[in-house]
Amino acid sequence: MIPCLVLVPQGAEYQAVQQGLQPSRAMMIPIQAGAAAVTTPALIHALRESPAMVLILGVCGGLRPDDRVGEVVVYTSCQDEAGHTYSLDQRLLGKLEPSWRRVKGITTAKPLSKAQKKQALAARWGVEVVDMEGVPLLRALAGIPVVMVRVISDGGDRDLPDLSQAYDSQGNLRPGSLATAMLRNPLGAAHLIQGSLKALTVLARIAPEIVQQLTH
């Protein structure tokens, strides 16, 4: 049995967590972005080993203008855009740092770029942060205790580059599409890069702390 399975979106997020967790006895898997996360071969194989718990780590977008980049948030629930809601394990939540903000999240099929869209989601559903993997993973992990902790990389106060075409159907980044989107909105690109770097630094720092809290 795997004591703690850690799932992190592939790329910069995985690299940050990997750096922070070394050395660690937790099993880490880089997952594909978006709904394709559940088809990651390594995840499918790991689930056959019946992990005792699953920790989902990564960055997320804030939906409100006053969200702070670099803030650590702990999901209490995550829903899709149709309103289907999935709860996280309450016992595991109780082990985590109490000063970290508890939030309700929403998973969208595409990255959100418009501040107006973000704020509209927050107003409609009462959610506070957005990601692309939460709900598909929670569906796939039904019956396993799961906790999800993320770091806000951008708030709901400004428009970002449109990254809706930056990922293929398998959740892999398209460098050309990413570069084009960044060039079309250089100010938003600068904000996105700065926020991501700050969030990744925080993610690397808190990863070992979270694993220790959950496994002791």
Q: What is the pLDDT of residues 109-131, one digit of tens each?
A: 988 999 999 999 999 999 999 99
Which domains can be identified in the chain, with CATH numbers?
Answer: 5-215 (3.40.50.1580)
pLDDT of residue 82: 96
pLDDT of residue 161: 85
3-state secondary structure the chain: CCCCEEEEECCHHHHHHHHHHCCCCCEEEEECCHHHHHHCHHHHHHHCCCCCCEEEEEEEEECCCCCCCCCEEEEEEEECCCCCEEECCHHHHCCCCCCCEEEEEEECCCCCCCHHHHHHHHHHHCCCEEECCHHHHHHHCCCCCEEEEEEEEECCCCCCCCCCCCECCCCCECHHHHHHHHHHCHHHHHHHHHHHHHHHHHHHHHHHHHHHHHHC
Summarised one tens digit per residue, pLDDT across range 48-85 is 999 999 999 999 999 999 999 999 999 999 999 999 99
- Indicate if the pLDDT at residue 6 is higher than 90: yes
pLDDT of residue 18: 92
pLDDT of residue 67: 93
pTM recorded for the entire structure: 0.93
Summarised one tens digit per residue, pLDDT across range 160-199 is 888 877 777 777 777 787 788 778 888 888 888 999 999 9
